[in-house]
Amino acid sequence: MADTTQAIAPGSAATEHGFVRAIGLFDGTMIVVGSMIGSGIFIVAADISRQTGSAGGLLLTWILTGLLTIAAALSYGELAALFPHAGGQYVYLREAYSPLWGFLYGWTLFLVIQTGTIAAVAVGFARYLGVLFPAISPQAWIVHPISLGSKYAISLSVQQLVGVLMIVFLTFLNTLGVRLGKLIQNIFTSAKTLSLLGLILLGIFVGRNAGAITENFSHLWAIRNPQTIEPGASFLRSLVPTITAASGAFGLFVAYGVAQVGSLFSADAWNNIGFTAAEVKNPKRDVALSMAFGTIIVITLYCLANFAYLCTLPLVQIQTVADDRVASAALNAIFGPVGAAIMAVAIIISTFGCNNGLILAGARVSYAMARDGLFFRSTGTLNSKGVPGSALIYQGIWITVLVLLRTRRLDAAGGVTYGNLYSDLLDYVVFSVLIFYALTIAGIFVLRAKRPQAERPYRAFGYPFVPLLYIVAAVAIMFVLLFYRTQTAWPGLVIVLLGVPVYLVWSRRTSKTAPAN
C-alpha cells in the first residue's frame, strides 16, 4: 500500500482527460438496469414470504423497497449533476464531508460491496450453468479444500473455476474500451429484461392457477407460517422480544424491516452509473436520468414478478420451495421439468449481464481513489483504450480471491462443511451499505449549506421531504437490523472502521510524497 501518487485536492474537477465519453442515456439506463437485475429476484421471495407471512406482505415489501430505492435515485441525481466525475458516491461523500468518508466508502466497496457481489453473481452463474452441464459441480474438486486455520479454507472446484473464468473474461473485455463494455451491457440487459418480462407474462396469463389466486388474494393479509425473528444477540433478549409478523404492530414493523435485507440488496447497484460519470456524454443530465429511469424500470419488473409468483404458486409453496428457487418452481408449474432448464438459461443471461455492469463501473471508484492518492498509483491511470485497465485488473484479482476462499464449519455429526466467504461478507455489509446511502443523501443538505451558489443542473425531487423520508426509513431499518440481525450488523461496522487506520497510513504517505508548494 505504499505505492501512492500525488493527492488531488478534493473538489478538483478533473484530471479525467483520456476517458472516452461514449455512454448515452440509453446506455446509462442499461447499466443501471443490468447491474440491478442479478439472481436475487428469482430467489429472495421465499425468504420474504416467510418473514412477512402473507401474500400481501410479500408484495408490500417490494413496494416499500421500490419507494425507497426510487426516492434514493431521485435524490442522488442532484449529487450526480453537481459532481459529474469518475467515482460517483466516493466523490459525493468526499465533497460533502471529508476525504476520510469518501475513502471509507471506497474501501468497503472494493473490499466487499462491489467485489463480493461480483463473486456471488459469478458463482451463481456457474451454479445455474451446472443445471445444463452437471459436470460444473461444487463437489468436482480440482484442488480439494486446504484448511487455513479452523474457520477458513481455500479450494478450487469446477464450479469455482467457471466463476473465475467468467470474471477474467469480462475483466479482459472491459479493458478493451468502454464502447465494447457498453455494447455487451446493452445486449445482455435487453435479453434479460425480456426474459424477466417473459416470466411475468407467463406467470400472470399462462400459468395462472385458480387455486393459488384464490388462496393468495382472497386472504391477502392473512399471516401464515411466519418465521420467528429472534434478537440478534443473547444479551438483547432482555431488551427486545422474540416476535413474528403475527405479533401485532411491532412484530410487523420488525418483520418488514428484516425483509428489506433481501429486497433492498436485490435492488442495489442502481448508483453504479455515477461511478462512470466521466464517460457519460452529457453527465450533468444523463447520470441522474439514467438512475431514475433504470430504477423505475427494475422496480416495476420486480413488483410484477412477485405478483406473477402469487398468480402461479400458493403462498405455502413459495415459503417452502427447495433452495428458495421460486422462479424455477413457477416455470416448473407451467412447463414441467423443462421449466428448470428455461429458468437456468434466463439466470445465466441475467448474471452475465449483471457482472459486466458491476465490473465496468466498480473499477472507476478505485481510479478516483488513486487520483486522490488513496489507492495504488497504477490504478489512477488509463490504458490506451481510455479505461482504467489497472484498476480493472486489481479488482479482478481480489474478486478471484473471494471466490477461492471458503468458510469452514463443523456440522452436528462432526463433519466439515464449506461455505462461501463472500456470502458472509455480503451479509455483514448490508447494514453498512444503508449507512453510506443515508449519509450520502444527507450530504445533499450539507452541500446546500456549504455551497449554496454551486450550479445545480438537477435538484433533488421533492426536496427536502423525499430525501428526508429516505433517511428516516433507512435509519429505522438499521435499528431493526442492529437489534435483530446483530450478528451480521456489527461485523459490517468493523469492516468499515478497519478502513480508518488504512486511510491514516495512506494519507500520511501521500502527503510525504507530494511536492512542496
Cell 450533468 belongs to 284
CB of 116 within 8 A of CB of 367? no
Give the contacts of 147 (CB within 8 A, at least 6 positions apart).
153, 408
Q: How many CB atoms lie within 10 A of CB 77?
A: 25
Q: Residue 131 is placed in which grid cell?
A: 443445471
Q: Residue 51 is placed in which grid cell?
A: 418473514
Does residue 228 sit within a domain?
A: no
DSSP letters of 505-517?
A: HHHHHHHHHSPP-
Predicted local confidence at residue 16, as pLDDT:
59
Three state DSSP letters for 386-425 = CCCHHHHHHHHHHHHHHHHEEEEEECCCCCEEEEEHHHHH
Of 9, 92, 33, nearest to 293 by C-alpha is: 33
Q: How many CB atoms lie within 10 A of CB 296?
A: 18
Does residue 137 sit within a domain?
A: yes
Give per-10-residue mean pLDDT for the chain (517 aa): 36 59 95 91 92 96 94 92 92 96 95 92 91 91 92 94 97 96 95 93 93 95 93 86 91 93 88 93 92 95 96 96 89 90 91 94 95 92 94 97 91 79 80 92 96 91 94 93 88 91 87 53
Does residue 2 sit within a domain?
A: no
Query: Distance between CA atoms of 371 and 381, rounded to whole angstroms?
Result: 8
Does residue 4 sit within a domain?
A: no
Query: Distance between CA atoms of 43 and 321, rounded to whole angstroms?
Result: 10
Element (DSSP H or E) covering residue 154: strand 152-157
Does residue 6 sit within a domain?
A: no
CB of 270 within 8 A of CB of 73? yes
DSSP letters of 318-382?
A: HHH-GGG-HHHHHHHHHHTTHHHHHHHHHHHHHHHHHHHHHHHHHHHHHHHHHHTTSS-GGGGS-
Does residue 453 sit within a domain?
A: yes
Does residue 180 sit within a domain?
A: yes
- 464 prior amide bond cis, ω within 30: yes
Predicted local confidence at residue 1, as pLDDT:
34
Predicted local confidence at residue 366, as pLDDT:
95
Predicted local confidence at residue 18, as pLDDT:
85
The CATH number linked to 50 is 1.20.1740.10
Domain count, the chain: 1
User: What residues pair up with 229 in beta bridges, in sequence order?
Assistant: 243
- Complete edge-to-edge strand list for the sheet that includes strand 141-147: 141-147, 152-157, 405-410, 416-420
* Residue range(s) defining the domain that contains residue 483: 25-221+235-404+413-512
Predicted local confidence at residue 37, as pLDDT:
92
**CA angle (104 as vertex; 88, 30 as ends), nearest 5:** 30
Predicted local confidence at residue 515, as pLDDT:
47
Pairing status of strand 141-147 against strand 152-157: antiparallel
Q: Can you say whether residue 94 is alpha, beta or left, with left for phi > 0 and alpha for psi between -120 and 50 degrees?
A: alpha
Does residue 244 sit within a domain?
A: yes
Element (DSSP H or E) covering residue 91: helix 89-96
Of 106, 100, 72, nearest to 86 by C-alpha is: 106
Give the contacts of 80 (CB within 8 A, at least 6 positions apart).
88, 273, 274, 277, 283, 287, 288, 291, 458
Cell 466516493 belongs to 90
DSSP letters of 182-227?
A: HHHHHHHHHHHHHHHHHHHHIIIIIS--HHHHHHHHHTTT---SPP
